Amino acid sequence: MNLVIFDFCETICKYQSANRFVDFCLLKSDKKSFYYRCLSYLSSNIFIIKVLGRIFPKFNFCKRVKLFSLKGISQSKLNYFSKQYFEQLLINLNEDIVTILEKHVREGDHVLIVSGGYIEYLNNFKSYFKIKEVIATRIAFRNGKCNGLFEGKDCMFEEKINMTQCYLDSIELNYNKSICYTDSISDLSLLKWVDYPVVVSNMISQKWSNEYGFREIIINDKKTCNEKVNRKNEVFR
């Protein structure tokens, strides 16, 4: 049995899902609060967000401001919106990567989704794909309402390793090899942490993937899957 880790956004799913989830919830709700107006103002000042993002990339300023706009929405409503959003995500998946995920599940591997997306909607994929666990960013609630903050830390960068290791320690999992599929250089530490890193690229090869000699899967517009294989990572099953 192998430990197999999948990133979600732009790996399994075709786009970044966290901020879109917030927009989806705001669209579905009747919420017209100060927080939403504040978010609209900040979102229009793209230069400010870019500057803050470059100075503090791990703080993920845009994501935090977006989430804060949900403050006051009930947990029951967000759960309801999460199920609707899940249905939307299902028609926006990278089919080739889903095929690989399903193959790992059939072969009995311990498959995880480890993502900076929100667990509220990602948990639906656990039963849908019959994977073992979803490790993701959590939205905090107080007295049954969203308080606009993360519960704990954002599941990004090195925190993906910390959360995954915490999970593995809790179940005392023994496995043969570890494999990770992700599209983003922000997961570089996670790719280095596993035995067999695999980079998922859209249309063209990513320079940084080649520089590190990672195995690479390139998804193109014809819905076919090509691989560029570095010799040292050629066989991982």
- 65-91: average pLDDT: 93
Q: What is the bridge-based pairing of β-strands 196-202 and 133-142?
A: unpaired
- Average confidence (pLDDT) over 46-52: 60
Distance CA 82, CA 79 (A): 5
Q: What is the pLDDT of residue 40?
A: 53
Other residues' Cβ atoms within 10 Å of the Cβ of residue 176: 10
The alpha carbon of 123 is separated from its chain's Cα centroid by a whole number of angstroms, namely 12
Among 9-23, 29-43, 101-115, whose mean pLDDT is lowest? 29-43
Averaged pLDDT, 104-129: 97
Q: Which of 208, 212, 158, 227 is nearest to 187 (CA)?
A: 158
% of residues, the chain, pLDDT over 90: 71
The pLDDT, as a whole number, for residue 29 is: 81
Mean pLDDT rounded to a whole number for the chain: 87
Residue 15: exposed, middle, or buried by beta-carbon count in 10 A (0-12, 13-18, 19+)? Answer: exposed
pLDDT surpasses 50 at 233: no
Q: How confident is the model over 197-216, as a mean pLDDT?
A: 95
Q: 21-54: b or e for each residue (b if 16 or more CB lie within 10 Å)? A: bbebbbeebebeeebbeebeebbeeeeeeeebee
Nearest partner of 228 among 217, 220, 213, judged by Cα = 217
Q: What domains can be seen in the chain, in order of their start residue?
A: 3-233 (3.40.50.1000)
pLDDT at 152 over 80: yes
Predicted confidence (pLDDT) per residue in 19-37, tens digit: 999 989 988 887 655 656 5
- Res 31: pLDDT: 60
The two tokens of residue 122 are 């990602």
Q: What percent of the chain has pLDDT over 70?
A: 80
